[in-house]
Every structure is written in C-alpha cells, then in structure tokens.
Amino acid sequence: MESKKNGKGPAIKAAVLIVLLITAFVVVRFTPLREYFTLERLKLVLEVAGPWAPLVYIISYAAGICFFLPGVLLATVGAAIFGPYYGFIYVWLGAMIGASLAFYIGRYLGRDFAASLIGDKLKKYDDTIARNGFATVLYLRLVYFPFTLMNFGMGVTQVRFIDYFSGTALGILAGTFIFTFFVGTIKEVWASGNWSRLLSWNVCFALGLFIFSCFIPKIIGKLKIIKSMDKDKFGEM
C-alpha cells in the first residue's frame, strides 16, 4: 500500500504542475484578464503606485514569469518607467526572483515524477547536468534559451539551486543591461522631444550593444565548436 501511495504522489504533483502551467497560460492569453497585462495598463499601475512603484514592479515581474507573461513586455515597462539604469536593476531583480520561484515550482511538483520516468540513457544526461550545473545554465542563458521554459525545466533536473541561481544571475546580466539601456535611452529621447539626441553617443552606444547582443548566440556557438576542435587535435597528439 505504501509503495503505491508513494508512486501516486509524484504523478499527482506532476498533474498539478501541468494544470497550473496550462491555467496560467490560458488566463493570460485568452481571458478578459489579459487586458490588465498590456504595456499601457502596467505603466498606469506603476504610476499610481508612486514611491512603491519599484517594489510593485519587481513583484509583478516575478509573478509575470510564473504566469508566462512575455519577458520582453515586462522588461520594456521597467526600462520605460525607471530609465536605463534603475530599470536594469529592477528588471534583473524581478527576473531573478521569478526565475527562482519557477524553478522551485518545477522542482517540488515535477522532479519526482521526472526522475521516475528517466531511464538509463536519460539518466546520464541528468547526471551530467547535475555535475556541470553552473556551466550548463550559464551557456543556455547566454544563447537566449526560452526564459520561462528553462526556469521550470531546470527544476525537474538534478541541477543544484545554487548552480542554477548563479548561472542565471550571470547569464542574464549582459542581455538585461543591453535591452534596458537601449529601451530606456530611446524612451528618454522620445520624452524630451529633442530628436537630435538620436545621434548622441548614448543612443549610438545603446544601439550598438543591442545589435551585438543579437550575435551573442552565434559567437558562443563558434567558440564551442573551436573548443571541441582543439580537444580533438589534442587527443590525436
């Protein structure tokens, strides 16, 4: 009786996780509540919040990740409201809290069930991720693997939370800064109405960083290929 009960537990948790994810996705995408998750509505809420706006934004960002809100939308709001520098801080904090919450949801509700399904062939990959947790998470963040999917997905692997957290913290740092600096700078020019500032050093620098960020996955991919080729050559010697 006890073994059957223990066997049902992971399956029930996994079912709860699937229902939770589907419900969150449907609520945000296909119900009237989706009207509250627009750029204009989020900006209005933050303006009303006054001095509490940063805290409200960080909490909203973290919750939004768990409810499958587009990260680009949330980051755009932060950069537009708080500017390129404070926006970067608040976006990064919100993303880290949301990523951590999603990881623990995946770990608590999905890990046991995933472990029961893993065979010998898949177990070696699971073990590899556990041994190289930080490097794996860092690499996937740098190549812009889907953010929300990875948050929940890493929770069902053996990766340690400290490796996941540190890999995420470092991996999203550059991309977050580039995006918020670009959006925040453009917004400041728009608000000032001084379109000559579009040719300023800040705008050109922001644009250059933004374009460079689009090539980060390809650069990392090439470096990985070169590294593997060097290993092969070393092995031949």
pLDDT score for 234: 45
| pTM for the model | 0.76
The predicted pLDDT at position 120 comes to 61
* Residue entry with tokens 């550059």: 174
- Most trustworthy range by pLDDT among 34-43, 82-91, 137-146: 82-91
| CA pair distance 206, 119, nearest whole angstrom | 47
pLDDT band at residue 36 under the 50/70/90 scheme: low
Query: Which pLDDT score, from 0 to 100, does residue 122 have?
Result: 63
Of the chain, the percentage scoring pLDDT greater than 70 comes to 73
Number of domains in the chain: 1
Instruction: Report whether pLDDT(226) > 60.
Output: no
| Residue range(s) defining the domain that contains residue 10 | 2-236
Looking at residue 99, what is its pLDDT? Answer: 95
In the predicted structure, residue 6 carries a pLDDT above the cut 70: no
Which residue do the tokens 């409201």 mark?
A: 81
For residue 237, what pLDDT band results from cuts at 50, 70 and 90? very low
DSSP 57-111: HHHHHHHHHHTT--HHHHHHHHHHHHHHHHHHHHHHHHHHHHHHHHHHHHHHHHH
For residue 56, the number of C-alpha atoms closer than 13 Å in the C-beta half-sphere is: 15
Question: pLDDT (tens digit, 9 = 90+) per residue, 46-104?
Answer: 888 889 999 999 998 998 888 887 788 889 889 988 988 899 999 999 999 999 999 99
Which amino acid, 216?
I
* Cα 180 to Cα 39: distance, rounded to the nearest angstrom: 15
